[in-house]
């Protein structure tokens, strides 16, 4: 599906060794494109777009040393960056939070197919912050919605005090 050698080269340009996970990322891309034919998960379905916008962006987050412990991916959609982070750092304790049932079904399907252990929360961030999820996580990528502060405001209630020191991470975008 994707050009695995090209992805390895792109990741290496950022100092990231993607070789150990590139086969799983290729499987993930195939699952995404196939499932996207029946459920709208993403507008990005071409191989190079998936490599750049989904995988490289997710790997840029996952490669950060402070990405450890319990991670929640709020508004994960099709699983970015959460599933990629878990593939790259299998020791992460991952929760994928997504309010849309059809997307949660895909996340469960993809994680099962890829052998990824994760917890699933069919919730909106605002609702989850008032429930058992409050202050439960060490790291949370800020969702790609609105201004950075708006995204950070949605995930901060989920972070434990230690996570607040790490702070939430917004997805890295190359210029």
**Which residues lie closer than 8 Å to 97 by C-beta, 6 or more apart?**
72, 73, 74, 75, 76, 121, 123, 125, 128, 133
Longest CA span, the chain = 44
pLDDT digits (tens, 9 = 90+) for 131-144: 666 667 888 886 54
pLDDT at 140: 82
pTM: 0.85
Chain-wide mean pLDDT for the chain? 84
If you ran DSSP here, which 8-state letter would residue 51 be given?
I
The answer on pLDDT for 128 being more than 60 is: yes
Q: What is the pLDDT of residue 150?
A: 44
92-123 pLDDT, tens digit each: 999 999 999 999 999 999 999 999 999 999 98
Q: How much is the pLDDT for 99?
A: 93
């Amino acid at each position: 599906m994707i050009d695995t050698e090209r992805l390895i080269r792109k990741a290496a340009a950022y100092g990231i060794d993607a070789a150990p996970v590139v086969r799983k990322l290729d499987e993930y891309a195939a699952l995404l494109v196939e499932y996207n034919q029946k459920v709208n998960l993403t507008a990005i379905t071409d191989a190079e777009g998936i490599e750049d916008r989904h995988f490289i962006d997710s790997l840029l987050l996952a490669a950060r040393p402070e990405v450890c412990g319990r991670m929640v991916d709020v508004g994960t959609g099709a699983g970015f960056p959460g599933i990629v982070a878990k593939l790259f750092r299998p020791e992460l304790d991952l929760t994928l939070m997504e309010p849309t049932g059809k997307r949660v079904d895909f996340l469960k399907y993809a994680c099962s197919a890829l052998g990824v252990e994760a917890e699933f929360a069919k919730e909106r961030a605002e609702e989850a912050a008032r429930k058992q999820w409050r202050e439960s996580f060490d790291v949370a990528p800020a969702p790609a919605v609105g201004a950075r502060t708006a995204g950070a405001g949605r995930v901060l209630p989920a972070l434990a005090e230690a996570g607040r020191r790490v702070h939430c991470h917004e997805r890295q975008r190359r210029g």
